């Protein structure tokens, strides 16, 4: 069993997932409205809207789509996407890339539970927590 974040966008899913691929690498699959069978397309939907995006990288899966109803448009509330890595330099690189043209809510820095932890909202409105995994303690 696994949990996979599924993000909704208001027409800029392609741009967001293209940026996430630049940051995280991996394989990106995009399905446009026009790629779907006619009977499964939302009525009057823009043919270029993304009906499903999937980015796979390092054993992770991040998914999303444009929301043709716009019911889910706007800032994400009540959740954050957490990305944890072992390498502090990689955590810094990812944090800075996600925060670029976005909003830093907590600068990346040491905490009692992580050598590096920070929170930001990217330019697409997705809230992120980036953390560096604490080294294993010798017993």
For residue range 66-124, list pLDDT tens digits in order.
Answer: 987 767 666 777 899 999 999 999 999 999 999 999 999 999 999 999 999 999 999 99
* Percent of residues in the chain assigned helix, strand, coil, to nearest 5: 20, 35, 45
DSSP 81-135: EEEEES-HHHHHHHHHHHHTTSEEEEEEE--SS-SEEEEEE-TTS-EEEEEEPPP
User: 44 versus 62: which is more confidently predicted?
Assistant: 62
Q: According to the model, what pLDDT value does residue 39 have? A: 83
Residue 137 has pLDDT above 60, yes or no: no
13-43 residue pLDDT tens: 999 999 999 999 999 999 998 888 888 877 7
pLDDT at 46 over 90: no
Strand order from edge to edge, sheet including 60-66: 6-9, 60-66, 50-57, 27-32
Q: What is the pLDDT of residue 45?
A: 74
Report how far residue 92's alpha carbon sits from residue 47's, in angstroms, rounded to the nearest whole number. 37
Helix (H, G, I), strand (E, B) or coil at 62: strand
Give the pLDDT confidence score for residue 74 in this predicted structure: 66
The full set of domains in the chain, from first to last, is 6-66 (3.10.180.10), 81-132 (3.30.720.110)
């Amino acid at each position: 069993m696994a949990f996979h974040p599924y993000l909704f966008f208001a027409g800029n899913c392609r741009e967001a997932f293209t940026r996430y691929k630049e940051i995280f690498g991996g394989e990106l699959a995009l399905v446009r409205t026009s790629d779907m069978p006619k009977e499964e397309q939302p009525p009057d939907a823009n043919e270029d809207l993304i009906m499903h995006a999937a980015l796979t990288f390092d054993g992770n899966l991040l998914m999303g789509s444009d929301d043709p109803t716009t019911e889910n448009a706007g800032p994400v509330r009540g959740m954050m996407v957490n990305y944890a890595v072992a390498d502090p330099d990689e955590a810094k690189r990812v944090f800075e890339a996600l925060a670029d043209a976005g909003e830093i809510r907590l600068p990346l820095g040491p905490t009692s539970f992580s050598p590096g932890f920070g929170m930001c909202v990217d330019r697409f409105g997705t809230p992120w927590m980036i953390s560096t995994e604490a080294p294993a303690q010798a017993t």
